[in-house]
Amino acid sequence: MSPSRAKILVVDDDTNLLDLLVDTLAAIGYQAVGVAGGVAALERLGCETFDLMITDIKMPGIDGIALSRKTRRLYPDLPILFITGVASPEVIGRASPDGFLAKPFRINHIEELIENTLKGRRKTGVRQIRKVMVVDDDNTFREMLADALRYDEYIPLAVSSGEDALRELERGEVDAVITDIKMPGMDGITLLKRIKEANAELPVILITAYMSEDDIKRQAVDHIADGFIRKPFRVEKIVEILNGITPAPTPGKP
């Protein structure tokens, strides 16, 4: 089946936008079905098979976040894309979508995202870095990096401390962690070691403006970190490192 013949469930309480998306996707060549809200989406999923779901986040009753979580429990292999104009990187990251579009968006962008998502799901045995945790106590830098990663179609989960990072890792999976070294409380070196103790295969990239190569070797982390970035840096460098990393296998899956 080619991506353009995929069957897509579109969920949005805004009937005007819902009709526009359904008509547009149908014109492109997808089989698009629209429903107005999370309850209707779950009912439809219970009686029909879909290749992809696209849902707004902000909806009354069952919003997009709750809908995605319920859907993941019932249909773990169904790809989910978010449409949103309000959600932060923290909210999007915790919900673990396969991608998202920020309102307003262009139709050619949504078509590209759909096809890339469907192609990625059909590549058996091949995983890519998608969900990336960003850990930094500098609010401006953290949000800047999260926005840059989101622009490159990663799914960022931004947190402000090592302690928050460990709590989030207990709640759900990520494909990689990018952490600053110098932070109050738990620093990035300690966070790296704690993460590797729990999951040695989870990639961790360290960001620093202070440590030299000799400092890094003295801390005995040069052999366990999966990459180092020195501030200031270009986002392309982070993307280059992420593209060269294979994410850790999902527990319980081959």
Number of domains in the chain: 2
Are 171 and 203 members of one domain?
A: yes
Residue 161: CB partners within 8 Å, gap ≥ 6? 135, 137, 183, 184, 185, 186
Residues 107, 28 share a domain = yes
Residue 96 has pLDDT above 80, yes or no: no
Residues 91 and 145 in one domain: no
- Residue-wise pLDDT for 39-91, tens only, equals 999 999 988 999 999 998 888 989 888 898 888 878 878 888 888 765 555 55
> Whole-number mean pLDDT of the chain?
81
What are the contacts of 196-199 at 24+ separation with CB within 8 A?
196/224, 198/169, 199/248
The structure's pTM equals: 0.56
Asked if residue 105 and residue 161 are part of one domain, the reply reads no
Can you give the pLDDT at residue 54? 92
**Is residue 157 included in any domain, yes or no?**
yes
Q: Please tell me whether residues 114 and 37 are part of one structural domain.
A: yes
Could you tell me if 29 and 73 are in contact, meaning their C-beta atoms sit under 8 angstroms apart? no
Higher pLDDT, 144 or 2: 144
Any domain includes 248: no
From the DSSP assignment, how many helices (H) and strands (E) are in the chain? 10, 10
User: Is residue 210 one of the residues assigned to a domain?
Assistant: yes
Q: Considering the domain boundaries, does residue 219 fall inside one?
A: yes
Q: Quick check: is 215 in a domain?
A: yes
Of 67, 90, 122, the residue at which a domain comes to its end is 122
Average pLDDT over residues 141-169: 87
User: Is the pLDDT at 155 greater than 50, yes or no?
Assistant: yes
pLDDT attached to residue 249? 57
Residue 193 is assigned to a structural domain of this protein:
yes
Out of 12-16, 56-60, 220-224, least confident range = 220-224
Between these two residues, 211 and 98, which has the higher pLDDT value?
A: 98
172 phi-psi bin (left φ>0, alpha ψ -120 to 50, beta other): beta
Q: Are residues 81 and 98 in the same domain?
A: yes
115, 154: one domain? no
Range 209-238 average pLDDT:
72
CA distance 222 to 213: 8
Quick one: 212 and 171 in the same domain?
yes
Is 26 a member of any domain? yes
The enclosing domain of 52 has a CATH number of: 3.40.50.2300
pLDDT of amino acid 86: 58
Do residues 99 and 165 both lie within one domain? no
Q: What is the mean pLDDT of residues 120-134?
A: 65
The answer to whether residues 94 and 43 belong to one domain is yes
CB 178 within 8 A of CB 205: yes
Tokens of 246: 């294979």
Residues of the domain holding 155: 131-243
pLDDT tens digits, 106-117: 777 778 788 878
SS3 breakdown of the chain: % helix, strand, coil, rounded to 5?
A: 45, 20, 40
Please indicate, yes or no, whether residues 216 and 174 belong to a single structural domain of this protein.
yes
- Which of residues 122, 139, 168 is at a domain's end? 122
- Indicate if 152 and 106 belong to the same structural domain: no
Single out the residue in 63, 91, 122 at which a domain terminates.
122
Angle at 188 between CA 187 and CA 193, to 5 degrees: 105
How is residue 226 written in tokens? Answer: 């999966």
